[in-house]
Chain A
Amino acid sequence: MRRFLSLLWLSLLSFFTFSAPVSATDSDYHEQLNLRPLPLSSLLASFNFRSNTTLSEFEKGNFRFFPRSLAQILQHAGTRELHLRFSLGRWDAETWGARPWNGAREGGTGVELWAWLEADTNEEADHKWLTLTNALSGLFCASLNFIDGTRTTRPVMSFQPEGDHSAVDNMQLLYGVLPHEVVCTENLTPFLKLLPCKGKAGIATLLDGHKLFDSSWQSMAIDIRPICPAGGECVLQIEQTIDMVLDIDRSKRPRGNPIPRPPPSEQLPCDASKPYNSHDTCFPVDHTNQEWTLSQIFGKTVKGTCPLADEAVPPVCLQVHHSRSVFVSKDVHEKKNPDGLSRCFHISPETDMELMLPRPDDAEAASSSTSIIAAETPLLYAERSFTGHGQERGGVQTILRNPSPDTEVEFIYMESLPWFMRIYLHTMEARIASQQPHTNASSSASSYSSLIEQVYYRPALDRARGTQLEVRMRVPPASTVFLTYDFEKSILRYTEYPPDANRGFDVAAAVITILDPTTQGQEAGGKELAAAYTLRTTSLLCSLPTPDFSMPYNVIIFTSTAIALAFGGMFNILVRRFVAADEGPEAGLKVLIAKLKARVKGVKG
């Protein structure tokens, strides 16, 4: 019987791997861990947890897999679709290639939140947004309540709803970002609490704050969206995703002795194929092909499966070539996928799963390109940095590189900047790197107009609203475009600076949404621009001029004295009478002395 069932699973498996989104609406809870070795001894681990509830059950308040705490917040704040991101680190696209999920499940450094709220007016939306951010702040132990008017924008082009919405008219999109927020283990605990197995069983047992927040890059995402399959009942789907890139060397360090020390020279893995002039020199071999096990990397093994999860979906998948051997503990069934690049593992409910990826054999190591699946080239590389020096003004420069030799990339570049960065839009310029900048005015103008297609700009208002800049532009094939603009740093009131004022102020990552070229032809009136790929630049640290925080009293006293001197001096001259030096009544010290003398005489007499 058991064997028959496993056969059934295997037959279902291929179905699920190819049409996961459709089947997602049929069953209630899925979880899956995808492991992909990356170049330079890194490992990408993508955890994905997905559950549904029908909209009618949701309205009635019957929750099975959908977390009740979150659902009540959504109902209270009238939220139709919600996306929440906690991220840390930088995705190294040059080495690691394209982002997981095409960038759709990641955020910029810090916390990002965007939601479609049910509201007829802007005031109603703002009110609901306030409710939502404050409630989520309590639920996730994050400072989401600091997403106020200055950090909230209403993107026009960048984000599109992922779910199926019947009435789009009364929905408002609000987007808030907290680049300064430090994501840490207090955010992970509530995240795991939302899962049906609460991180006690299944792949979620691998998630440990020590390892997750020690990774080179990590992004925790929560996406809630309504999905209406054709002919079926609409469901509300919650998808929780954690992507992390682990440094294998770093993760393998024992917990009791985490300080890295160089191994003795005789243990160094030397590249024997290189010629050496003496026996004590060594060229270290590429660490790409390290062997690792799950327990070494995550500090523990997978504790069985979550009994609530759909058993048809394999909980762990590994993306390596079929030629490589993988060792797993017994009672774990391996299934190689027909694409030749990945394999999945079924675990029986009570088994602890251990997985080991050994170093490839010598023959294979020679052709190291086959040991790791080649990274997919992303559609666009983006880098953003500050230019200029000093604390008065500066510039922002974004370098956008299109690696494709023949395809043009069209995308929307969105910045949401704090109000104290006063940007000068008239200085915004896009130019192709090969061109000489400022050769003459007309050529830069023409490159501007040809690269930038559309600009949406909402300037900042002091202490009330941040800058929102959305630029729809394109990068021609195999070229690099520099997008630059100037800004001025304003000086704040001394109470507006944080305690560590000289550290600087974080500026949120720019969001780049690459448009799907296949849907561009169909779009009419600038609506429904499907995103093919999303990426975010790193966040920036902007240092503002600071006053002296130690002497408010001194400044108040000095300035008041200067004013009093001028005021007193002028009105003194204005109101007093002129007399010759020897005229008029005696005054001042002489009179006082005379009085004193008289008194002394009186006492003596």
Chain B
Amino acid sequence: MDGAKVTPGKTAGLYAGAAVLRLAIFTLLPALPDLLTGRVEISTPVTSFKRLQEGLFLYNHNVSPYDGGVYHQAPLFLPLFSLLPSFSSLPIFTYLLYIAVDLLSASALWKIADSGEAGSSALFTSPRREKRWSGFVIAAAFLFNPFTIATCIGRSTSVFTTCAILHAIAKAVSGAPFGAMIALSFASYLSMYPLLLLPPLVLLAYDRQRPSRATKSALQFGAVCATTVAGVVAVLFQVSYLLTGSWEFLPSTYGVQLTLSDLAPNAGLWWYFFIEMFDSFRSFFLAVFWLHLSSYVGGLTVRIRRQPLVVLTLLLGIFAIFKPYPSISDSALFLALVPLYRHVVPLMRYTFVSAAVILYATCLGPAFYHLWIYAGSGNANFFYAITLVWNLGQSLLVCDLMFAVLRDEWEVERPEMVGKEIRQI
């Protein structure tokens, strides 16, 4: 459409640059990957690469990795990483896999950006849509985002979920609902929480159907999509069952996210809350926290019905704040989608504040963690306080983006209000 023309050479250059940068970090700084793998901001109990290696070791030695408290990741990772040459002898293959996954995510993001869905969806066209960044810029912003690079170097398995989510959106945008549902099923299978993205994704896919084979009834379309997801997830479960020989992977992978039995510190709000929670109220608050997380899906999907991609973006931002084990890779995914809304940035009110808060928390988080765990001169409240700041900063950004998008919609009805002061009643 109207994006800047990108030559194939430029595309290849971007991907090659990102790959070479990552490969250089892997090879020139051999201590850095293990250091980053150990960081709580990058590796959570459900995405840690070290835990994956332990699970793999147990799997290869015929001990069930799910009969223990260490491995909480999806069973299909085990054969995938067993097929690769052993990490201890030939780590380069693992590095290449992670780099390839990052590049795949970037290409999906590029597709989403080039479709122009962010500016003009089927039901709504923004008057500001001309002001946008090309897919090249958005993919570059993703690939060279320090959070994305740190996640890739830390070899967190959340990159696979990120890739699956981005592909699900890209497929939905390009009018392939079936592919979108399969990709979403994979994402849900790997991390469970992407299942909450189903309603907006179905709407997005419904809006962007190819006219040649469009289904008229939204209800019928939704039912087919839901059945597809259920079917693919069921197949994945069955394959996992055949691989591990029992169903005990279900409580060990998804049960841990539901009950938060592993209270390892992370960037989120759950861990310290449930450390300090009174035992008799633990289950109640677990239910409240999950209910809270899923409460946004319905509200956003209904209110911003005309722009399903916005709903997906906002939900990903909310998940990066409120899911049980968030890490900076979730923030990286949200920050990858935010540049799609270049056209509403002038309507945002607190860009400087939220950017400053996020930067502040990024710098102070590791320092405060060090003070607590290693130096012993601070206590747990230091790191807890900085996670509070980090999450407030992110929620400010999400709120602000939501406000900007809604005002952009409203200004179509009231064109005379552009640039005027407004309020909400």
- Please list the residues of chain A having a beta carbon within 8 angstroms of any beta carbon in chain B: 389-393, 419, 422, 424-426, 441-442, 455, 457-463, 490-495, 545-548, 551-552, 555-556, 558-559, 562-563, 565-567, 569-581, 584-585, 587
Chain B binding surface, main DSSP class: helix
Question: Out of B273, B275, B374, B425, which one reaches A491, CB within 8 Å?
Answer: B275
With an 8 A cutoff between CB atoms, is B130 at the interface?
no
User: Is B381's CB under 8 angstroms from A548's CB?
Assistant: yes
Closest B residue to A571 by CB, please name it.
Answer: B299
Question: Which size class do B's interface residues fall under?
Answer: 35 or more
Contact segment of B52-60, B118-126, B192-200, B204-212:
B52-60
Given contacts A425-B58, A551-B276, A552-B278, 17 further A-B contacts (CB under 8 A): A391-B376, A425-B57, A461-B69, A490-B262, A492-B263, A548-B381, A558-B388, A563-B292, A566-B399, A570-B398, A573-B399, A573-B403, A576-B424, A578-B417, A579-B423, A579-B425, A580-B421
With an 8 A cutoff between CB atoms, is B183 at the interface?
no
Contact segment of B134-142, B213-221, B264-272:
B264-272
Instruction: Using known A-B contacts A391-B373, A548-B380, A581-B420, determine if residue A462 contacts B261 with beta carbons closer than 8 Å.
Output: yes
User: Is A424's CB under 8 angstroms from B70's CB?
Assistant: yes
Bound complex: CA of A110 vs CA of B196, how far in Å? Answer: 51
User: Is A559's CB under 8 angstroms from B57's CB?
Assistant: no
User: Is B275's CB under 8 angstroms from A493's CB?
Assistant: yes
With an 8 A cutoff between CB atoms, is B355 at the interface?
no
Instruction: Using known A-B contacts A457-B63, A462-B69, A578-B406, determine if residue A491 contacts B422 with beta carbons closer than 8 Å.
Output: no
Bound complex: CA of A314 vs CA of B262, how far in Å? Answer: 59
User: Is A461's CB under 8 angstroms from B422's CB?
Assistant: no
Closest A residue to B289 by CB, please name it.
Answer: A563
Closest B residue to A576 by CB, please name it.
Answer: B424
User: Is A555's CB under 8 angstroms from B424's CB?
Assistant: no
List CB contacts (< 8 Å) of B208-256 with chain A: none
User: Is B68's CB under 8 angstroms from A460's CB?
Assistant: yes
With an 8 A cutoff between CB atoms, is B345 at the interface?
no
Question: Out of A390, A460, A585, which one reaches B69, CB within 8 Å?
Answer: A460
User: Is B261's CB under 8 angstroms from A565's CB?
Assistant: no
17 contacts between A and B (CB under 8 A): A390-B374, A391-B374, A392-B40, A442-B89, A462-B261, A493-B277, A494-B275, A547-B276, A548-B380, A548-B381, A551-B381, A563-B269, A565-B392, A566-B395, A574-B303, A574-B402, A577-B424
Question: Out of A459, A462, A547, A567, which one reaches B292, CB within 8 Å?
Answer: A567
* B34-78 Cβ-contact flags toward A at 8 Å (1 or 0): 000010100000000010011011100101000111100000000
Bound complex: CA of A56 vs CA of B391, how far in Å? Answer: 72
A463 surroundings in chain B (CB, below 8 A):
261
With an 8 A cutoff between CB atoms, is B410 at the interface?
yes
Nearest CB of B to A369, in Å: 49
With an 8 A cutoff between CB atoms, is B82 at the interface?
no
User: Is A576's CB under 8 angstroms from B272's CB?
Assistant: no
User: Is A461's CB under 8 angstroms from B276's CB?
Assistant: no
With an 8 A cutoff between CB atoms, is B274 at the interface?
yes
Nearest CB of A to B72, in Å: 10
User: Is B322's CB under 8 angstroms from A555's CB?
Assistant: no
Nearest CB of B to A36, in Å: 45
A562 surroundings in chain B (CB, below 8 A):
269, 388, 391-392, 395
User: Is B398's CB under 8 angstroms from A580's CB?
Assistant: no
Greatest chain A CB density within 10 A among B272, B276, B295, B300 is at B276
A441 surroundings in chain B (CB, below 8 A):
88-89
With an 8 A cutoff between CB atoms, is B407 at the interface?
yes
Bound complex: CA of A458 vs CA of B64, how far in Å? Answer: 10
B373 surroundings in chain A (CB, below 8 A):
390-392, 545
Bound complex: CA of A545 vs CA of B395, how far in Å? Answer: 28
List CB contacts (< 8 Å) of B302-323 with chain A: 303, 318, 321-322
* B391-405 Cβ-contact flags toward A at 8 Å (1 or 0): 110010011001100
Closest A residue to B299 by CB, please name it.
Answer: A574
Nearest CB of B to A310, in Å: 51
Instruction: Using known A-B contacts A391-B373, A552-B276, A581-B420, determine if residue A424 contacts B54 with beta carbons closer than 8 Å.
Output: yes
Closest B residue to A581 by CB, please name it.
Answer: B421
A556 surroundings in chain B (CB, below 8 A):
273, 276-277
Bound complex: CA of A344 vs CA of B414, how far in Å? Answer: 111
User: Is B53's CB under 8 angstroms from A426's CB?
Assistant: yes
Closest B residue to A495 by CB, please name it.
Answer: B279
Chain A binding surface, main DSSP class: mixed
Nearest CB of B to A455, in Å: 8
A389 surroundings in chain B (CB, below 8 A):
374
Bound complex: CA of A493 vs CA of B265, how far in Å? Answer: 12
Bound complex: CA of A425 vs CA of B68, how far in Å? Answer: 12
Closest B residue to A558 by CB, please name it.
Answer: B388
Nearest CB of A to B137, in Å: 28
User: Is A569's CB under 8 angstroms from B399's CB?
Assistant: yes
* B84-114 Cβ-contact flags toward A at 8 Å (1 or 0): 0000110000000000000000000000000
Bound complex: CA of A495 vs CA of B264, how far in Å? Answer: 16
Bound complex: CA of A605 vs CA of B4, how far in Å? Answer: 72
Instruction: Using known A-B contacts A441-B88, A493-B279, A581-B420, determine if residue A555 contacts B69 with beta carbons closer than 8 Å.
Output: no
Nearest CB of A to B159, in Å: 21
Closest A residue to B261 by CB, please name it.
Answer: A462
With an 8 A cutoff between CB atoms, is B296 at the interface?
yes
Question: Out of B70, B384, B391, B424, which one reaches A573, CB within 8 Å?
Answer: B424
Closest A residue to B420 by CB, please name it.
Answer: A580
A576 surroundings in chain B (CB, below 8 A):
424-425
A455 surroundings in chain B (CB, below 8 A):
61
Nearest CB of A to B127, in Å: 15
Greatest chain A CB density within 10 A among B57, B69, B277 is at B69
User: Is A459's CB under 8 angstroms from B70's CB?
Assistant: yes
Bound complex: CA of A460 vs CA of B424, how far in Å? Answer: 54
A558 surroundings in chain B (CB, below 8 A):
384, 388
User: Is A419's CB under 8 angstroms from B69's CB?
Assistant: yes
A567 surroundings in chain B (CB, below 8 A):
292, 295
User: Is B67's CB under 8 angstroms from A461's CB?
Assistant: yes
With an 8 A cutoff between CB atoms, is B290 at the interface?
no
Greatest chain B CB density within 10 A among A461, A491, A572, A578 is at A578
A493 surroundings in chain B (CB, below 8 A):
263, 274-275, 277, 279
Instruction: Using known A-B contacts A463-B261, A494-B275, determine if residue A426 contacts B54 with beta carbons closer than 8 Å.
Output: yes
A559 surroundings in chain B (CB, below 8 A):
269, 272-273, 388
Bound complex: CA of A575 vs CA of B54, how far in Å? Answer: 48
Nearest CB of A to B266, in Å: 11
Bound complex: CA of A579 vs CA of B416, how far in Å? Answer: 12
Nearest CB of B to A187, in Å: 32
Bound complex: CA of A516 vs CA of B296, how far in Å? Answer: 67
A548 surroundings in chain B (CB, below 8 A):
379-381
With an 8 A cutoff between CB atoms, is B372 at the interface?
yes
A392 surroundings in chain B (CB, below 8 A):
38, 40, 373-374
Bound complex: CA of A51 vs CA of B96, how far in Å? Answer: 70
User: Is B425's CB under 8 angstroms from A555's CB?
Assistant: no
Bound complex: CA of A601 vs CA of B407, how far in Å? Answer: 41
User: Is A563's CB under 8 angstroms from B263's CB?
Assistant: no
Bound complex: CA of A426 vs CA of B52, how far in Å? Answer: 10
Closest A residue to B302 by CB, please name it.
Answer: A574
Bound complex: CA of A164 vs CA of B76, how far in Å? Answer: 49
Bound complex: CA of A250 vs CA of B403, how far in Å? Answer: 79
Bound complex: CA of A424 vs CA of B279, how far in Å? Answer: 29
